[in-house]
Amino acid sequence: MSQFTAFVQPEMGRIFAALGLDVAYVRAEGNTLYHRDEQGTEIPVLDLMGGYGSLIFGHNHPEIVAHARSLLDANRAVHAQFSLRGEAGRLGAALSEVVRRETSVKEPYLATFGNSGAEAVEAAVKHAELVRVRKVMALADEIAAHTEAARDAVRRGEARLDPDVGRLPAVLAHGPQADGIDGLLAAVEAHNAAAIGTRPLFLALERSFHGKLVGSVQLTYNSGFRAPFQNLGARVRFVPMDRPELLDRIADDERVVLLDTEIDQGRVRIVERDFPAITAFLVEPVQGEGGIHALTTEQGRAIRLFCNKVGTALIIDEVQSGMGRCGAFLASSLIGLRGDYYTLSKSLGGGLAKISAMLVRRSLYEGEFDLIHSSTFAMDDFSSSIAHKVVEMLEADDGQAYRQVTERGARLTGMLTDLRAAYPDIIEDVRGKGLFLGVQLRDQAQARSMVLRGSAYTGSLGYLLSGYLLRQEGIRIAPTGSAGNVLRIQPSAYLTDEEIERLRGALDRLCRILRYEDTLHLVHP
C-alpha cells in the first residue's frame, strides 16, 4: 500500500489500484507526464486530462518555468501581507483590461484573489450577499422613515388613513382588520420584519459545479457532494439549463415584498416594494464537472434578462471554461453574456502556482469587502506574477493563443466526430468548446457483459475506460465527476496532430472493445 493510500486518500487509493490508475508521476512536460516502471525506466503518458483544465499551456511551460525561476533567483518578497502588493495590482489591472476588451463593458472590474477556484466562488458569493444585505438595510431605513412620517402626519391631522381597504396590498387585505394608524403600521412592521428575515436564495443551474467548500458546495448540483453539508449553507434553487421559460415562474415564486407607507394627497397608503430575496445567479458558460454542457446564446440572454429584471447579480464561473480554454479569455464572451462577477482559476496559475481571482464590476464593489475578506496566501507576488505572465502569453500577438485553441479544438472535434460516425452505437455525443470537450458514451446498462452492465449501474464506466486507456494506450483521460459516461478531454493548446491521431487509434480500439464487449481488456489484472 502506498503512503498516499496509507496517509492521504485511502478510499481513492483503493479505487486507483482497482482501476489500474495507481500511478505516481515523477516528471512532466507539455502534454506528457512520466512515471517509472519497476526497472525505474521513465514511461511517457499523453495527458489529455490536463490538470482538470488547469494546463492551457501544458506542464512546465519553459517560459513560465523561466519566469518562476527569475522570481526565485531574485529572492522576491513573496509573503508581504499588509502592504501594497505590486504584482497583485498589476495582475488585477491586466485582468480588468482583458475582461473589458472582451465584453465591451465600460467600467473596470476589481479583483479579489484567492488560492483555488472554490475560494473565488466563495468570495463572489460573500460579496454578492454583502451587497444584498446593504440594500436591505437601506430599504428598511427608508421604509422606517416613511412609517414614522405617516404616523406623525396622522397624529397632526395632516393625513388620514385611506379607507379603501381594497387598496391595501393583498398581504394585509386578508389579515386582521387594522384599527387606526397604529394598528395598521404595526401590521406593516410585523410583515416587514418577517420578510427581512427571509433566508437569501441563490440560483444555480442543474448539473452545476462551483466547488466543494462549505459555501460553494451548496451551489454544486451533485447531491453526493452537497447533501451531507446542506444544513451548513445557503438556500439554493437549481434551474434546468434548457428551460429558460421557467425563470419567470421562479421570479414570481421567489418574490418577497416589503410594505412601505406613502402619503398621497393627505391619504396614507400602503404600497409594496420588492425585497432583494435572490442574492445571485451562478452559471458556468460551459459546465465541466457536470458533463460538458455549453450554455447557448439564447439561454445566456434569458439568464441575463432575468437577473436584470429581479435585480440580482450574475456570477459567471469561468474557473474551468476561462483562461482561453474555449478559444477566448472568457467563454461567456463567445455567447455575448456579461457578468457582474467572474471567477477565474486553474490555468491562471500557469500550471505552477495556485491562484484564483474574483472580479466584480467596480460600481457594485463594496469597499469594506477588502477589510473583512482575506486569505494568508492570496495576492502573493510569486503567484500573481506568474498569473500575469500567463495573461500576457494568452493576449500576445493579438490573441494568437485563443486562435490556436480554436484551431486545435476544431481539429480534435473533427476527429472525435469521425469516430462517433464510425461508432454511433458506442458514442452518443461529442460536445464542448475549444479544447474543453466531452465524449459521451452510450449507456451500457443493457450490455450482455456483466462488467459493462455493472459499471453502467455504478456510474463508473468512464473510470473503467480511463484505467484501460492509461494501462493499454498510455493516455490519461478522466470522466466528468458527475457524469461517469462522459470522457473529458482538456489538453494544452500545443496538442499536436500526431497526438490527435494517437488518440484516434486508442479510442477506435476502445470502441471496438465496447462494440464486441471484449471486456477482458478492460479489467485490470
Residue 359 contacts by C-beta under 8 Å, 6 or more apart in sequence?
A: 95, 96, 99, 109, 110, 111, 112, 341, 342, 343, 344
Which of 16/275 has CB closer to ligand F0G? 16
Nearer to ligand F0G, 260 or 380 (CB): 380
Is 121 an interacting residue with respect to ligand F0G (CB under 6 A)? yes
Stretch that binds ligand F0G, among 65-73, 116-124, 295-303, 378-386 (CB under 6 A): 116-124
Q: How far apart are CA 497 and CA 361, in angstroms?
A: 41
Q: Does 209 bind ligand F0G (CB under 6 A)?
A: yes
Q: Which residue is nearest to ligand F0G (CB)?
A: 117
Would you say 332 or 519 has its CB closer to ligand F0G? 332
Contact map string, positions 405 to 444, toward ligand F0G, x by CB under 6 A:
----------------------------------------
Coil/strand/helix, residue 88: helix
Selected binder of ligand F0G within 51, 117, 300, 491 (CB under 6 A): 117
- The packing angle between helices 381-422 and 62-73, to 10°, is 170
Residue 175: CB minimum distance to ligand F0G, A: 45
* Long-range residue pairs from 71-74, CB within 8 A, at least 24 positions apart, any chain: 71/381, 71/382, 71/385, 71/386, 72/382
| N-to-C CA span, the chain | 17
Nearest CA to 391 out of 98, 85, 30 is that of: 98
118 interacts with ligand F0G by CB under 6 A = yes
Q: Which stretch binds ligand F0G (CB under 6 A): 33-41, 112-120, 182-190, 306-314?
A: 112-120
What's the closest the beta carbon of residue 457 comes to ligand F0G, in angstroms? 23
DSSP class of residue 30?
Answer: B
Window 354-373: residues binding ligand F0G (CB under 6 A): none
By CB under 6 A, residue 52 contacts ligand F0G:
yes
CB of residue 406 to ligand F0G, shortest distance in Å: 20
Residue 176 CA to residue 227 CA, distance in Å, equals 41
Backbone angles phi and psi of 299, in degrees to 5: -65, -40
Give the nearest distance from C-beta 439 to ligand F0G in angstroms. Answer: 16
Cβ-count burial of 411 within 10 angstroms (0-12 exposed, 13-18 middle, 19+ buried)? middle
Nearest to 270 by CA among 187, 197, 196: 187
Identify which of residues 33 and 316 has a Cβ nearer to ligand F0G in the complex: 316
Find the binder of ligand F0G among 207, 210, 388, 433 (CB under 6 A).
210
**Residue 116 lies near ligand F0G (rule: CB under 6 A):** yes
Task: Give the residue with the Cβ less far from ligand F0G, 387 or 419.
Answer: 387
For the bound state, the minimum distance from the C-beta of residue 456 to ligand F0G, rounded and expressed in Å, comes to 21
Question: Which string of b and e fits 176-190 if b means at least 16 CB within 10 Å?
Answer: eebeebeebbebbee
**x-marked contacts with ligand F0G along 335-354 as a string, rule CB under 6 A:** ----------x---------
How many residues touch ligand F0G under the rule CB under 6 A: the total is 17
- Closest approach, Cβ 289 to ligand F0G, in A, equals 4
Stretch that binds ligand F0G, among 101-109, 115-123, 302-310, 452-460 (CB under 6 A): 115-123
Number of neighbours of residue 392 by Cβ within 10 angstroms: 12
Show the binding pattern over residues 461-490: x = contacts ligand F0G (CB under 6 A), - = does not.
Answer: --------------------x---------
Whose Cβ is closer to ligand F0G: residue 13's or residue 117's?
A: 117
Contact 129, 368 (CB under 8 A): no
Q: How far apart are CA 472 and CA 466, in angstroms?
A: 10
Spatial contact of 285 and 343, defined as CB atoms under 8 Å apart: no
- Per-residue binding string, ligand F0G, 283-322, x by CB under 6 A, is -x---xx---------------------------x-xx--
Helix, strand, coil percentages (3-state) for the chain, rounded to 5, are 50, 20, 30
Strands 160-161 and 267-275, sheet pairing = parallel
Q: Which residues here bind ligand F0G, judged by CB under 6 A?
A: 52-53, 116-118, 121, 209-211, 284, 288-289, 317, 319-320, 345, 481
